[in-house]
Amino acid sequence: MKSNTRKIVMIGMLSALAFVLTCLGNLIPIKVAGFLDYDPKDIIIVIAGFILGPISAIIITIITALLELVTISTTGIIGFVMNVISSAFFAVTASLIYQKKRTLSGAIIGLICGVVAMCLAMMLWNYLITPLYMAGTSREMIAKMLPTVFLPFNLVKGSANAALAMLLYKPVVNAMRRARLLDKIESKKSETKALLIIACAVIVVICVLSFLVLGGVI
């Protein structure tokens, strides 16, 4: 019972944190192609998947998307579906692989596969669903945008979120341990340090610059 209660508390906390990040991402004024926003909630969702498993990642994905639907969303139920698909493919793929190989390399492989899975899923669903809520946009127009707009955008978004998840994983875990929500995490090895942090920081910078280019700012 104690373990289940702690897990419910962690799911609630991480869902709230993911929603806060969604709200902060919504404040970014830059939009790619006039309607695509950067959404950082997947950072927390994939960290939750690493800590609690893929089922918890799905639960947090749905809770966060529902909170967005009833508060700040302008795309209604279609936006809700797209949010769930995007976050679930990224976080669940990454956490499933990490569950099988709970090492640094397992986390990196999982995140890379998560980005690829999310990009492929969103290519399909953007093709199928985007014409339903973008008035005057035909499926043929969307098909032309897939390799030039949707793929680069999702690749940049996914890569940024993956790199930030690697940087924030330890701080989030340590905070939960201090709050006594987690007893034990994988052994503390010092491999993750300078080189990984530098690499992730470089990826984030590259992604920010790429997002500015896609948004027409630079």
* Measured CA angle at 141 (ends 136, 143), to 5 deg: 140
* Rounded Cα distance, 32 and 40, in Å: 15
Domain total in the chain = 1
pLDDT at residue 136 in the model = 78
Stretch 190-202: mean pLDDT, rounded? 73
CATH code where residue 124 lies? 1.10.1760.20
* Rounded Cα distance, 193 and 24, in Å: 28
The more confident residue out of 66 and 34 is 66
In this predicted structure, the answer to whether residue 105 has a pLDDT above a threshold of 80 is: yes
Which residue range is the domain that position 165 belongs to?
2-214
The two tokens of residue 217 are: 């700012």
3-state class (DSSP) for residue 217: coil
Q: What pLDDT, in 10s, does the model give residues 58-73?
A: 999 999 999 999 999 9
* Measured CA angle at 107 (ends 104, 111), to 5 deg: 145
pLDDT at residue 191 in the model = 46
Q: What pLDDT, in 10s, does the model give residues 124-176?
A: 999 998 888 777 788 899 999 999 999 999 999 999 999 999 999 989 988 88
Stretch 116-122: mean pLDDT, rounded? 96
pLDDT cut 90: percent of the chain above it: 64
